[in-house]
Copies of this chain bind each other. A is one copy, B any other.
């Protein structure tokens, strides 16, 4: 195995588990030889999916049995604590015990966040691990963090988000010295809530980041900053609103376009443009969102991920390991 990245994949988490999850694993190992996958879940079911349905015959995918499943409706903290033989917890233990480099799960978001902290554990010095998805913009992608469930953050948390986000963005997107903004309700000096007002001077003083000030919500999608820091309640609201609005607009557009023969003919002609736009603003196009600042990599894939999204999420783990992102985070923050 040597330099390969080993990913523990929660095969039972997500709306389309286990079929699409297993299929995604097969797609990933068939398109790159830099990755090995450990499918974690009910062994018999996974064997059926992997060997019978997908007819997989290679040795880059192994199966690790786990008898329980954390459901979407389970309360995160108690589920992680009580379902010790769940696919998610077993996958995380593989990382904790050094048998895998990363976990990917499309399951219960709260449980992934809780498990990341309780089972995988935080890097020394990291106060809070943020969930950091890329969101599409007209310029490419911006990293929005924290979008997790650890609400009511403190100023020092946001500063660490900015530092970790900068390292992640620089190494994954290949852009030196990426810009950092703080999400605010105006760009003027006196604007903001108490958290933003208290955080701004700390960001200004922070020498390891390229801070450019306040970013208004209307400018997120214009790519005004590469990294945008905010408290998790706000980040989560923005992320989900983005998803909801984009989907709704495309659905409404589709309905409008199918409303008459004339528009139907026109639609045939404009289809490529529409498809391109939909892909550009698909919030799940970048695979999963990492939880930054943990001892291993934990990637949360979208709950409704199909094989393609799982494949992308698995491949994300390659550059995360190869770029030694965690080592860089440790060096720059954890002293």
- If A256-B276, A266-B269 touch, whether A241 touches B244 (CB-CB below 8 Å) is no
B residues less than 8 Å from A193 (CB atoms)? 151-152, 233
Of residues 138 through 160 on chain A, the ones whose CB sits less than 8 Å from some CB of chain B are 138, 149, 151-152
- If A152-B193, A267-B266 touch, whether A237 touches B238 (CB-CB below 8 Å) is yes
Name which of A196, A221, A222, A239 has the most chain B CB atoms within 10 A of its CB: A221
Interface string of A237-275 (1 = CB under 8 A from B): 111111111111100110011010011011111111110
Is the C-beta of A191 less than 8 angstroms from some C-beta in chain B?
yes
Q: Which residue of B lies closest to A185 (CB)?
A: B236
In the complex, the answer to whether A151 meets B220 with C-beta atoms within 8 Å is no
Q: Please tell me how many copies of the chain the complex holds.
A: 2
- If A256-B274, A256-B276, A270-B266 touch, whether A188 touches B73 (CB-CB below 8 Å) is yes
Instruction: Select which of B185, B188, B239, B248 is within 8 A of A221 by beta carbon.
Output: B248
Is the C-beta of A281 less than 8 angstroms from some C-beta in chain B?
yes
- Assembly CA distance A152 to B191 (angstroms): 12
B residues less than 8 Å from A240 (CB atoms)? 185, 216-218
Q: Which residue of B lies closest to A236 (CB)?
A: B185
Is the C-beta of A194 less than 8 angstroms from some C-beta in chain B?
yes
Minimum CB–CB distance for A243 against chain B, Å: 5
- Assembly CA distance A274 to B249 (angstroms): 11
Number of interface residues of A (CB under 8 A): 62
Is the C-beta of A334 less than 8 angstroms from some C-beta in chain B?
no
- Assembly CA distance A162 to B243 (angstroms): 26
B residues less than 8 Å from A75 (CB atoms)? 188, 190
Is the C-beta of A25 less than 8 angstroms from some C-beta in chain B?
no
- If A190-B75, A236-B217, A257-B270 touch, whether A149 touches B185 (CB-CB below 8 Å) is yes
Is the C-beta of A202 less than 8 angstroms from some C-beta in chain B?
no
- If A263-B272, A266-B267 touch, whether A237 touches B252 (CB-CB below 8 Å) is no
- Assembly CA distance A98 to B280 (angstroms): 53
Minimum CB–CB distance for A67 against chain B, Å: 25
